[in-house]
């Protein structure tokens, strides 16, 4: 009887709690703050100089609103930031025939970042909260490092670096002062401006940088395998006729385990007498699958395996029993990919380049020893549907621009499902 009486009382108190702390005003303020912090992703779509210039100032305002909100506001802002940055992660479940997982994944990602932001709300002083938010931007759940506040400064005139981000946070903090003292927010911005430009490096010969738009639901369909192979061979022959010295093709351009394709390998070796071919494909050795780059040059073949795997995409960063359960129930019993032991370089025409496949091009590990040139290959078809193009390629581009600026690296990026491009360090004023 006591339990029966307790239930409505519990529900009443719960409703009272929700009304008190999750009001429309708090939710709207948190969303506005989150959108301002995330604005660079959406303004980058338009690529207008005026919007690029405004972007970091909107970020400052978003941080200002965040650090001056209450604890629930911190959680909700983190929740919305997680969704605005990473809602597209759930799209990949379409291709595992688990469309029902999309809202679950989106909400789960939001909750994870909500709790990360909540950690920063525990200090009482606003300045310490600003410090905590700055620090948590370097926390990478399960090794996934795409939440990078330094990258918010890729647009505009400020330096996308730790120094630049510190200045942005100081500016956001000074906005809380009254009257004349509010103008102090301008002082840190003077020191945040990027002055220098790192000189880009380019490959000294003609290149064919391939972009394809093969839908993910067709890419691994065996009925289309030969069609895609023949199309790739046409692209290579066309590049040869155009006197190109190198053709760069996307991740899994050849949607097969290349080391089992003897005839295809012979054909590509033959073509490589006239052009160097860099293309993605899978490989299978010693009962382990690898995501690989294949380089065909002067009749020879070299295979380089991916070094940094995608968390929950190519590896499950959890204890074995949890990993096996997830692989069995969500990924049709597939095993994790096997990573390479270290970064890999190779020469093309006497020039040393660093290999990168998709996600690893957006990690510090791949920039070991500051490579001058990276050839990166990507498949972004995972994160788009027949009707929706997500912002994943935009965020990826901004992160690549950030790393190119940080390490003075030029990135040749060949993509399936979005724009292929050459990315150079950001220019200073």
Tokens of 339: 């990573």
Given a contact cutoff of 8 angstroms between Cβ atoms, the answer to whether 102 and 383 are in contact is: no
Tokens of 301: 């073949």
**339 in helix, strand or coil?**
coil
Q: Fill in the DSSP letter of residue 130.
A: H
DSSP 150-216: GGGGSSSSB--SHHHHHHHHHHHHHTTS-GGGGGGGHHHHHHHB----PPP---SS-EEE-EE---H
Alpha carbon of 393 to those of 31, 44, 89, 251, 382: distances in Å? 23, 11, 12, 14, 11
Q: Which of 251, 314, 360, 392 is catalytic?
A: 251
Is 199 catalytic? The answer is: no
> Can you list the alpha helix ranges (DSSP code H) found in 292-417?
320-330, 392-407
Is 386 catalytic? The answer is: no
Q: Which of 29, 306, 338, 384 is catalytic?
A: 306
Residue whose entry in the numeric block shows the structure tokens 């990135």: 411
Q: Which of 150, 244, 358, 360 is catalytic?
A: 358
Residue whose entry in the numeric block shows the structure tokens 């709690």: 17
Is 167 catalytic? The answer is: no
Active centre residues (catalytic): 251, 306, 358
């Amino acid at each position: 009887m006591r339990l029966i009486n307790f239930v409505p009382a519990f529900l009443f108190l719960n409703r009272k709690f929700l009304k008190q702390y999750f009001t429309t005003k708090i939710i709207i303020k948190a969303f506005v703050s989150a959108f301002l912090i995330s604005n660079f992703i959406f303004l980058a779509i338009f690529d207008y100089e005026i919007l690029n210039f405004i972007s970091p100032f909107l970020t400052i305002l978003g941080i200002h609103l965040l650090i001056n909100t209450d604890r629930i506001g911190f959680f909700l802002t983190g929740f919305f930031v997680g969704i605005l940055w990473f809602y597209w992660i759930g799209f990949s479940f379409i291709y595992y025939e688990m469309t029902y997982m999309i809202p679950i994944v989106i909400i789960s990602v939001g909750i994870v970042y909500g709790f990360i932001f909540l950690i920063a709300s525990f200090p009482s002083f606003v300045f310490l909260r600003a410090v905590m938010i700055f620090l948590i931007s370097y926390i990478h759940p399960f090794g996934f490092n795409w939440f990078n506040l330094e990258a918010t400064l890729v647009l505009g005139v400020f330096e996308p670096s730790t120094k630049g981000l510190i200045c942005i946070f100081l500016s956001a903090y000074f906005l809380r002062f009254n009257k004349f003292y509010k103008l102090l927010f301008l002082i840190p911005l003077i020191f945040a401006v990027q002055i220098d430009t790192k000189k880009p490096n380019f490959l000294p010969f003609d290149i064919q940088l391939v972009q394809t738009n093969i839908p993910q639901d067709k890419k691994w369909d065996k009925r289309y395998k030969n069609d895609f192979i023949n199309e790739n061979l046409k692209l290579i022959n066309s590049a040869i006729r155009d006197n190109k010295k190198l053709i760069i093709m996307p991740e899994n351009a050849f949607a097969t385990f290349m080391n089992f394709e003897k005839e295809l390998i012979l054909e590509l070796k033959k073509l490589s007498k006239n052009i160097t071919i860099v293309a993605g494909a899978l490989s299978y050795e010693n009962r382990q699958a690898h995501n690989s780059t294949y380089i065909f040059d002067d009749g020879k073949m070299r295979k380089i395996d991916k070094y940094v795997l995608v968390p929950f995409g190519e590896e499950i960063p959890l204890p074995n029993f949890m990993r096996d359960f997830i692989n069995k129930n969500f990924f049709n019993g597939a095993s994790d990919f096997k990573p390479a032991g270290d970064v890999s370089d190779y020469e093309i025409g006497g020039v040393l380049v660093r290999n990168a496949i998709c996600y690893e091009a957006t990690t510090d590990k791949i920039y070991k020893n500051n490579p001058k040139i990276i050839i990166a290959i990507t498949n972004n078809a995972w994160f788009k549907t027949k009707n929706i193009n997500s912002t994943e390629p935009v965020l990826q581009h901004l992160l690549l621009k950030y790393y190119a600026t940080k390490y003075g690296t030029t990135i040749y990026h060949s993509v399936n499902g979005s724009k292929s491009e050459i990315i150079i360090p950001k220019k200073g004023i």
